[in-house]
């Protein structure tokens, strides 16, 4: 019976092929959560550098894993790499990065090298667009592993995208910024992304207050 069924199915497929239908193998969507991720930042960075799990891997120049003190008390999480980050392989090295460095060193009064900086996605979205949910959720397990290994006391979510994917909440950043949230193993403080501050200098006062809140937590 099974042989007859299979023969009929094969005949049907041949008929469809003659009509011009094409067949492609079914590719199951995967994310980094399907991988066994190592308990070592260097080994994790090597895995990220070879990642091909989402379409961003096809347009990147370099992956941007993250950098800083692997035992930092404070971690900054942004949205994704920009053009200069894509070339250099380092997070926040453009104009927004220069501003972030000033925020860290002038307000928090600690060297940039003493914090840890990462992004929701490790590859640059074309034209610096917002990562799609597929791209973000595919890449997010890498960030979760970084948080697990660094074990920061405080995470500053830079902008709405970072805040959304770290919490699942879609509240606007202007409403939620400066709020201290207990995430279990760390405190989360959402604030403006440095790129937003470059476009809206008047928001720097609020960002300054957020940094003072973070400084108090540290």
CA–CA dist 68, 80 (Å, integer): 16
Tens of pLDDT, residue by residue over 132-146, are 999 999 999 999 999
Domains of the chain: 38-217 (3.40.470.10)
Residue 212 confidence class, pLDDT cut points 50, 70, 90: very high
Tens of pLDDT, residue by residue over 182-201, are 999 999 999 999 999 999 99
Q: Dihedral angle at the C-alpha atoms of 66, 176, 110, 84, nearest 10 degrees?
A: 40
Altogether, the residues listed in the chain come to a count of: 218
Residues 6+ apart with CB under 8 A from 84: 93, 94, 97
Using the predicted structure, report yes or no on whether residue 27 has a pLDDT greater than 80.
no
| More reliable by pLDDT, 24 or 83 | 83
Closest C-alpha to 111, from 72, 148, 149? 72
pTM for the full predicted model: 0.85
């Amino acid at each position: 019976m099974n042989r007859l069924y299979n023969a009929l199915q094969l005949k049907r497929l041949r008929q469809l092929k003659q009509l011009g239908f094409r067949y492609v193998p079914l590719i199951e969507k995967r994310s980094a959560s399907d991988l066994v991720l190592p308990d070592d930042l260097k080994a994790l960075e090597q895995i990220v550098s070879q990642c091909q799990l989402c379409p961003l891997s096809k347009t990147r120049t370099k992956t941007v894993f993250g950098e800083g003190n692997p035992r930092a008390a404070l971690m900054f999480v942004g949205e994704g790499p920009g053009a200069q980050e894509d070339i250099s392989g380092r997070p926040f090295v453009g104009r927004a990065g220069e501003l972030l460095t000033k925020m860290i060193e002038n307000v928090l009064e600690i060297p940039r090298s003493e914090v840890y900086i990462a992004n929701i996605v490790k590859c640059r979205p074309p034209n610096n667009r917002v990562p799609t949910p597929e791209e973000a959720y595919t890449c997010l397990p890498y960030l979760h592993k970084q948080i697990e290994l660094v074990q920061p006391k405080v995470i500053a979510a830079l902008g709405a995208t970072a805040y959304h994917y770290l919490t699942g909440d879609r509240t606007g950043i202007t409403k939620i910024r400066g709020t201290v949230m207990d995430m279990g193993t760390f405190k989360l403080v959402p604030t403006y992304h440095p790129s937003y501050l470059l476009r809206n200098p008047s928001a720097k006062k609020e960002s300054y207050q957020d940094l003072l809140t973070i400084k108090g937590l540290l």
